[in-house]
Amino acid sequence: MIRFSDSEVREAIYLVGERIFLVLLIVVPARFLIAFVNAFLERLFERTQFDPTLEKFTHKSVVTVMWLATLAVVLVVLGVDVNAVVTSFGVGSFIVGFALKDTLNNFASGVLILVNKPFLVGDDIEVKGVRGTVKTITMSNTKLITGDRVKITLPNAFILDNPILNYTAYKEE
């Protein structure tokens, strides 16, 4: 049976307590900072004409990056080799990225559509012989309703890889 002296137990409790205190010293202010950034982004998006889908993506991305940075600092304080974690994350990201390349291509195309706005919800568009009224634009696809009331879902990469005919673009001008 293993026996520990009172001083060893006290030292272990002290070390664990110290680490918990340091983690709380990092996480609690980070939580308040993230809440402040959340409130700031909400006010910013209320005052600007930001696309709702792009707004949600930007908001989630900023918060995720802030939490990942907090996690990295906590790992450093706990003595974890962050280089090994980052390297493992990089290799894992490469593998997942390769497996999801079509999905990521559609996602990137969705961002480009939302930023460049070649068409908007409600526009009458045609892409490679497919014509309809845009009902929704998401990060991965765009949904159209045809004149025959048929719902068509087009991947965003397909849309950007082909000429887009927008029959509504200049009707308002």
The average pLDDT across 88-114 equals 86
Fold of the domain built from segment(s) 6-99: Helix Hairpins (1.10.287)
- Domain regions of the chain by residue span: 6-99, 110-166
The average pLDDT across 27-42 equals 93
d(CA 65, CA 9): 38
> pLDDT: is 30 or 60 the higher one?
30
For residues 140 and 156, the answer to whether their CB atoms sit within 8 Å is yes
User: What band does 124 get if pLDDT is binned at 50, 70 and 90?
Assistant: very high
User: pLDDT tens digits, residue range 108-118?
Assistant: 999 899 889 99
Taking 80 as the threshold, does the pLDDT of residue 121 lie above it? yes
CATH 2.30.30.60 fits 110-166, yes or no: yes
